[in-house]
Structure 1
Amino acid sequence: MIIANSRATSVAQSFPVLPAEFWQQLEIKHAAAMRDFGKLMKAFRELQNPPIKQAELAQALNITQGQVSRIESGRSAITDLTKLARWAIVIGVPFNLLWFDPPTHVTIPYTTDDDDVKIGSTTNEGDIVDRRQFLKAVTASPTLINSSDLPTTSHAVGVSDVARVHDWTENFRRMDNKWGGGHGINQAGYFLQNDVLPMLTESRMTNAVRKSLLVEAAQLFQLVGWMHYDTANQNAGRTALRNAFRLASDADDYALAAEMQAGLSHQASFLRIPDLAEDAASNAIHHARLSGLMSVRSEAAVMEANAFALQGDEKRTIRALATAEDFFCQIRSGDTPVWHRYYDQAYLNAKFGTVLRDLGDSERAEGYARASLNMTDGYERGRTFNLCLLAGVLADRGELEEALVHVNLAMQTATSIRSSRVREYLSDVGHRLARYANTPEVKEFYHNLSKKGIPTRRFA
């Protein structure tokens, strides 16, 4: 896998870790909106206290001070996405600020010299090519912890081993659904690295067992990816979902592969990157069609609708929502995989409400947002998301009193959930309540947000 060079990585560590508020400043957001990396570099330097000198930035990026000057002034246009992605990593630009999709071979720097290896590639004899090399590279990524050489299994892998992986993944999933915020991420990462990945390097298993193990490993990677997203580590989350997609593809599980692409689309929409969301949704639609599973096809369509809504394309948004609803109505009992049973009526209502809200249609969004609260037990974090969705829609409609009831209930629920996504949803409601900022009730809400560490000056 190609990564940022070691010189840039070591120098980058000398930069302070900047709080999220730094990247919300007007100069930063303006540069991102203008898609001008030079202006972004200049703002990054000058907004720090004390400001960073051009020479210091040049050293970190492994270029000359003159090049920094020309890039910042707009005299040198940089179109190499690999170079831009690596520079963004060095200075710590949050992924949601980037206006381009970093090339797949660029990720957060980590220690490995392995070239990119596609899991599942075969020789003429049909043997897996260097699976250990790929898996070793994976374990060195920020998706996992305690990177080290992979241990080897001491026995042939069988059905009981696959069942054990499944059971542990479900335990981690229940913990994550209830608590969020990366609870269990260290344990899940340790289990993935020290138990699951060594099994995947073992050649002593039947083809049926191997495919089952790939599917279970993909689901564990997926869960670890969502845990990373929930702790605001978008790059590691994205890497984990891509690894999950590769494993699912290697197992010829089109439905699971579609699910991973739908997850990538979901996160891109959450980060307000509609082009990337559309691309991932298109990939999800392709694999979902091959799978023939209506629940997965419905999810892929609703993810596409979200991307279209963020682009302001009402016609394509409504068409995609109609497609999602049509597929949902064709779901038959027993057809949905166990891992996709979360995709129920409440989940679909929440997505419809989100899409219509992003489209600016708060009137229609309200009904779906209300219906999304009819959830099954065990999804406390999801209930918090949906309460925030309804509160935001009601704020847009001028229903201040009821909006505050729901967002305050969400804040009570959030006391037991450590989740960066919950914080973002609460922050979004804060933005939507800004026109009422001088009312006593909203002032109290902002005070409570501040106590949770969510800056309220951004709502002024």
Structure 2
Amino acid sequence: MKQQLGGRTSAHGGVDTTPRRSGRAGAPTRPDEFWDAAPMRAAAAERHFGQLLREYRRASNVGQAEVAQWLGVSQGQISRIERDRSQVHDLDKLERWAKALKIPQRLLWFQLSGSRQTEFAGGEGGFNALRTVSRPDDQVGLGMRQLFRWLGNEATEEPEAPTENVFRAAAESYLRGGWYAFDEGEVALGSQRMRIALNLSRRSGEQALSAEILAALSFQSLFHGTLESAVPVIRMAEQAAEKTGLTLLRVEVASMAASCYAMMGDRDTCLQVLRKAEKSLETVNSSEPTDRLYLASGCALSFRFLGWPREAEGFARTAVKLSERWPGVRLCTRTLLASALADQRKVEEACATTSQVVPRVAPIRPVRDQVCLTSVVRRLSKYGDDISVRTLYSQLAGVGVAVPRIG
């Protein structure tokens, strides 16, 4: 029997915690505490709208019929979305549903139109509080101060004590700043910012974010040729990702770990890590392109390091197809394919593949792009008499990539 509580009833006989909607149609606005609860963040981290929707209903104590009205679908559709293991890929639907439920951008794996790229929990107070935890920027330099201004942090008031949300927001900012520094070739500065991010994420209690930062640190160590420092960090990242229980995060970290083991020549551990990641994706039946892109790229890079260019080519082609929606990684996946082709003496195709992603005018600035292109240049150097290599070298030299002189 339902219990009456001040005119509001609860089906489970307790207090009905569902916020009032003040007579307006649609989902009510939930407080930050609702969205920042650990189960909600864990559901969002799986990047599966059905899981996020199911946790939303559980936490807010609402039925499928009511949510169906808010989203403009049938109750049967809500049931199917929650049960279906496959992802919803229609971005228009995802955006419409997310806005209907008033899900904050920080929980979403896709960008809402009209929202800023980075959103911090806690509203404007979060921006004010960032000044408290961004003081280490005095030791980091002007770059982070510019970054905070770009994020909109113009307030001057500071809270007495930063919240966990603020530590997490600051950690994400320093992580972003670390990537910026690496892309500008400032390796030491990038590493310093990421280590600050790691300390802040640990203070926030965000294991998933800590694992992501550790993976980023190991990736940068690997990318810049310091394997001895990459291996212990990637092992810490693997342990941290395992503790979160988030399958897709484990796959992302495993893809980087496999490359480290391949560079060490540890073939057995590399293959073991990749097989485990593949089984994890099969378990959640993920069809999300980004998840498969991580694994395909990790396999291609690992097999290239192991000296298996044919296998590397197959996975690199898969990565190229999956990266078409993301211009920012297209150059990396195509040069990965070109390297595998060059290692098999498929010179003309390697040159054509690389040429497709070389910009026509502006110099290439991100160091990651420079390193990717330089790797192809090095592999093609033995074929300097080939006209396709000469043409590509001329194109690369025009955008600032160092190429060997051909007599």
Structure 2-normalised TM-score? Answer: 0.62
Q: Which residue of 2 aligns with 1:401?
A: 348
Question: Quick one: which of 191, 194, 201 aligns to 1:238?
Answer: 191
The answer to whether residue 388 in structure 2 is matched with residue 441 in structure 1 is yes
The correspondence for 1:360, drawn from 296, 307, 327, is 307
Match of 1:410 among 330, 345, 357: 357
Task: Tell me which moved more, 257-266 or 237-246.
Answer: 237-246
Distance change in 2, residues 1:369/1:459 (3 Å): farther
The corresponding residue for 1:89 is: none
Matched, 1:422 2:375: no
- SS of 1:373's equivalent in the other structure is helix
1:160-239 residue pairs with structure 2 within 5 A? 186=146, 188-191=147-150, 194-195=153-154, 202-203=159-160, 210-239=163-192
Counterpart Cα distance in 1 of 2:187 and 2:194: 11
- Going from structure 1 to structure 2, the CA distance change for 1:414 and 1:277 (only over 3 Å counts) comes to farther
Q: What is aligned with 2:139?
A: 140
Q: CA deviation at 1:424?
A: 1.4
1:354–1:142 distance in 2 versus 1, CA, 3 Å: farther
Counterpart pick for 1:313 among 259, 262, 266: 266
- Tell me if structure 2 keeps the 8 A contact 1:369–1:390: yes
**1:407 Cα deviation after fit:** 0.4
Q: Which residue of 2 aligns with 1:269?
A: 222
Q: Give me the whole-angstrom Cα distance separating, in 1, the residues matched to 2:283 and 2:360.
A: 34
Q: Confirm or deny: 8 A CA contact 1:388 1:425 kept in the other structure.
A: yes
Aligned to 1:384: 331
Q: Following the alignment from structure 1 to structure 2, what is the Cα–Cα distance between the partners of residues 384 and 330?
A: 30
Instruction: In structure 2, give the amino acid aligned to 1:444.
Output: T
The residue type paired with residue 379 of structure 2 is R
1:373 and 1:309, CA in 2 relative to 1: closer, same or farther beyond 3 A? same
Distance in 1 (CA, whole Å) between partners of 2:141 and 2:406 is 33
1:322 is displaced (CA, Å) by 1.4
Cα 1:192–1:136 shift into 2, 3 Å: farther
Which residue is equivalent to 1:344? 291
Q: 5+ residue gaps in structure 2?
A: 1-129
Q: Are residue 325 (structure 1) and residue 272 (structure 2) matched?
A: no
| Structure 1: gaps of 5 or more residues | 1-130, 147-185, 335-340
The letter of the residue matching 2:159 is E
Cα deviation per residue 1:239-295 (whole Å; 9 max; x = unaligned)?
111111111111111011000000011111111222211111111112112211111
For residue 401 of structure 2, what is the aligned residue in structure 1? 454
**Deviations 1:85-124 (CA, angstroms, capped at 9, x unpaired):** xxxxxxxxxxxxxxxxxxxxxxxxxxxxxxxxxxxxxxxx
- TM-score by length of structure 1 reads 0.55
Answer yes or no: is the 8 Å Cα contact 2:364–2:399 preserved in 1.
no
Deviation at 1:458, TM superposition (A): 7.8
| 4+ long deviations beyond 6 Å | 131-134
Structure 1: distance between partners of 2:188 and 2:279: 34
Q: Please, which of 202, 207, 212 is the counterpart of residue 259 of structure 1?
A: 212
Structure with higher Rg: it is 2
Deviation at residue 133 of structure 1 after TM alignment: 8.6
Q: Is the contact made by 2:170 and 2:200 (CA closer than 8 Å) also made in structure 1? A: yes
Q: Is the 8 A contact 2:215 2:256 kept in 1?
A: yes
Q: Which aligned pairs between 1:119-158 and structure 2 lie closer than 5 A?
A: 135-142=134-141, 144=143
Contact 2:251 2:294 in 1 (8 A): no
Matched residue SS, 2:171: helix
Larger RCO (alpha carbons 8 Å, 6+ apart): 1
1:280 corresponds in structure 2 to 233
Q: Which amino acid aligns with 1:409?
A: Q
SS at match of 1:457: coil
Q: Give the CA deviation at 1:227.
A: 1.2
Return the letter of the residue paired with 1:375.
L
- 8 Å CA contact 2:360–2:399 kept in 1: the answer is no
**Structure 1 pair 275–192 and aligned structure 2 pair: CA distance change class (3 A):** farther
Q: CA separation in 1, counterparts of 2:215 and 2:289?
A: 14
Preserved CA contact (<8 Å) 1:266 1:303:
yes
Q: Which one-letter code corresponds to 1:327 in the other structure?
A: S
Secondary structure of 2:321's partner?
Answer: coil
The structure-2 alpha-carbon separation of the partners of 1:418 and 1:310, relative to structure 1 and needing over 3 Å to count, comes to same
> SS where residue 374 of structure 1 aligns?
helix
Q: 1:352 to 1:331 in 2, by over 3 A?
A: same
Q: State the Cα distance separating 1:137 from its structure 2 match.
A: 2.9
Query: How far apart are residue 331 of structure 1 and its match?
Result: 3.6
- Check conservation: 1:282, 1:304, Cα contact below 8 A: yes
Contact 2:134–2:170 (Cα < 8 Å) also in 1: no
Q: 3-state DSSP class of the match of 2:209?
A: helix
Is residue 246 of structure 2 the alignment partner of residue 293 of structure 1?
Answer: yes
Are the aligned partners of 1:373 and 1:383 in contact in 2 as well (CA < 8 Å)?
yes
SS of equivalent residue, structure 1 residue 433: helix
Q: Encode CA deviations 1:196-231: one digit per residue, 9 max, x unaligned.
A: 9x77x62267xxxx2222222222211111111111
CA distance in 1, matches of 2:248, 2:313: 24
SS at the partner of 1:136?
coil
Alpha-carbon distance, 1:409 to partner = 0.4
1:374 to 303, 321, 324: 321
Contact 2:217 2:233 in 1 (8 A): yes
Residue type of the alignment partner of 2:270: T
Alpha-carbon spacing, 1:212–1:361, altered in 2? closer, same or farther (3 Å): same
Query: How far apart, CA to CA, are the structure 2 residues paired with 1:238 and 1:223?
Result: 11
